[in-house]
Amino acid sequence: MQNAPAWENDWSIRLRIWVERNGEALLGPGRLELLEAIDRCQSISGAARQVGISYRHAWLLVQGINRAAGKPLVTSAVGGQRGGGARLTELGKHAVASFCQLQQEMHTAAAQILPRVLDLGQRTAAVHVAAAISLEQVLGQLLADHVLRQPAVRVRAIYGASNELADHTLAGAPCDLFISADAAQVERLRRAGLCQANAPRVLARNGLAIVAPADATIALRHPKDLLRADVGRVALADPESPLGSYTRDYLTQLGLGEGLRDRLVTADSSGGVLATLESGGAEVGLVYTSDAARSNRIRVLSQPRSEAVVAEYWAVVPENAASAGPARRLLDFLQSPAARRRFRSFGFHPVKSTSRTA
């Protein structure tokens, strides 16, 4: 790497995609973020707060989007302390989904093309990332984004349960960046002397959602309604996984653990819970809010707000990392404004922080 051209370390590439209609800007990254927030919050003012702009700015952007589209992508009702409700129309939902897919495929294609165009060959650094499986979708997109900023760095990601990833790392598997959904697993690395000097950082948070298949008629007004006989089987993640641990703690806090014991169905992960619901193996399940937000196979029945059920994603560069420098730059990128927007679009709650003690 010492004889590599200067641009390998100093230059980065930006890929900006937008959609026009009759020469007028319709959708771009900022407008997409606002529409996604409106879809989540069902409110323009709530969406404005989430993306960090004023209500007036958000309102004007919505008007501009609707005007450029020729048909409403957002319908709203003005009034009230929160500025009234708002929702995406069917055309708006289609536009958001299409633009997300377009943006993702363009970034992925660029990430694959760059190493060949720049003729990096074997001179590129390799960063091995071990990450919680619930991050697979968002981190996959973030790594594609990162390639445009650091084209000379190859990233190889392995996803799995946080405890299993910690086992592999402690056994000597290559790991330059460890991202866990369980602070206890980072503590295991610390006790083993793998992250004494490098403070772990919190990248994002997640929560729990009680869900059912999209075509189910069941309704829940409160999580305690899970005890109703007509609810049927309840799918949870394996108790050894962070999600399974958070879920059982939450049910125990509500006094529901014993009453549900005979109706519980265990799956290996949040995705496994969704698959169980889809196959008819259970009528209701508890998953991460990020999975609930991006799945059209289920509908949310209830979303607990208790801080006790929030999962935090901890990231640390082990002290024996072979590519510590590139890994630290990747970690810095994962806390950048662009990365926070990406986390938010996938249903996570990004965290503005530098470092924390696990």
Residue 131 bridge partners (DSSP): 159, 179
Q: What is the 3-state secondary structure (H, E, C) of 279-338?
A: CCCCCEEEEEHHHHHCCCCEEEEECCCCHHHCEEEEEECCCCCCCHHHHHHHHHHCCCHH
Position 305 scores a pLDDT of 64
Position 79 scores a pLDDT of 52
**Orientation angle between helical segments 324-333 and 136-149, nearest 10 degrees:** 110
Is the pLDDT at 6 greater than 60? The verdict is no
Q: What is the pLDDT of residues 94-109, one digit of tens each?
A: 999 899 888 878 877 8
Mean pLDDT of 46-53: 84
> Which residue in 345, 334, 339 sits closest to 129, CA to CA?
334
Is the pLDDT at 197 greater than 80? The verdict is no
Which residue in the block uniquely carries the two structure tokens 């592999």? 168
Q: What is the pLDDT of residues 237-260, one digit of tens each?
A: 988 888 888 898 889 888 998 899
Predicted confidence band at 83 (pLDDT cuts at 50, 70, 90)?
A: very low
Q: Where are the beta strands (DSSP E) in 140-270?
A: 153-160, 177-180, 201-206, 208-213, 234-237, 264-267
How many angstroms separate the CA atoms of 236 and 226, rounded?
13
* Cβ neighbours of 17 (radius 10 Å): 14
Mean pLDDT of 311-325: 91
Mean pLDDT of 272-284: 92
Q: What percent of the chain has pLDDT over 70?
A: 87
Three-state DSSP class for residue 261: helix
Predicted confidence band at 8 (pLDDT cuts at 50, 70, 90)?
A: low
Task: Say how many CA atoms lie within 13 Å of 170 toward its Cβ.
Answer: 15
Predicted confidence band at 78 (pLDDT cuts at 50, 70, 90)?
A: low
Position 150 scores a pLDDT of 79
- Please name each of the domains of the chain with its CATH number: 19-97 (1.10.10.10), 124-205+311-350 (3.40.190.10), 208-309 (3.40.190.10)
How many angstroms separate the CA atoms of 114 and 147, rounded?
8
How many angstroms separate the CA atoms of 177 and 189, rounded?
12
Between 210-219, 245-254, 256-265, 296-305, the lowest mean confidence (pLDDT) is in: 296-305
Does an H or E element contain 356, and which?
Answer: none
Position 77 scores a pLDDT of 66
Contact present, 275 and 305 (Cβ < 8 Å): no
Predicted confidence band at 221 (pLDDT cuts at 50, 70, 90)?
A: confident
How many angstroms separate the CA atoms of 44 and 248, rounded?
35
Mean pLDDT of 320-331: 91
Residue 7 in tokens: 């641009």
Position 108 scores a pLDDT of 76
| Identity at 139, one-letter amino acid code | L
Between 250-254, 269-273, 293-297, the lowest mean confidence (pLDDT) is in: 293-297
Higher pLDDT, 215 or 41: 215
Q: Which residues contact 90 (CB under 8 A, 6 or more apart)?
A: none
Range among 136-145, 289-298, 299-308 rated most confident? 136-145
Contact present, 220 and 210 (Cβ < 8 Å): yes
Does an H or E element contain 246, and which?
Answer: helix 242-253
Question: How high does pLDDT run on average in the chain?
Answer: 84
Position 128 scores a pLDDT of 95
How many angstroms separate the CA atoms of 101 and 278, rounded?
24
Q: What is the pLDDT of residues 98-157, one digit of tens each?
A: 998 888 788 778 777 766 776 655 556 689 999 998 899 899 989 988 888 877 788 899
Position 9 scores a pLDDT of 55
How many angstroms separate the CA atoms of 20 and 256, rounded?
52
pTM to 2 decimals?
Answer: 0.72
Task: Say how many CA atoms lie within 13 Å of 267 toward its Cβ.
Answer: 25
Q: How far is CA 192 from CA 160, 340, 356, in A?
A: 21, 31, 19
Position 309 scores a pLDDT of 60
How many angstroms separate the CA atoms of 35 and 92, rounded?
8
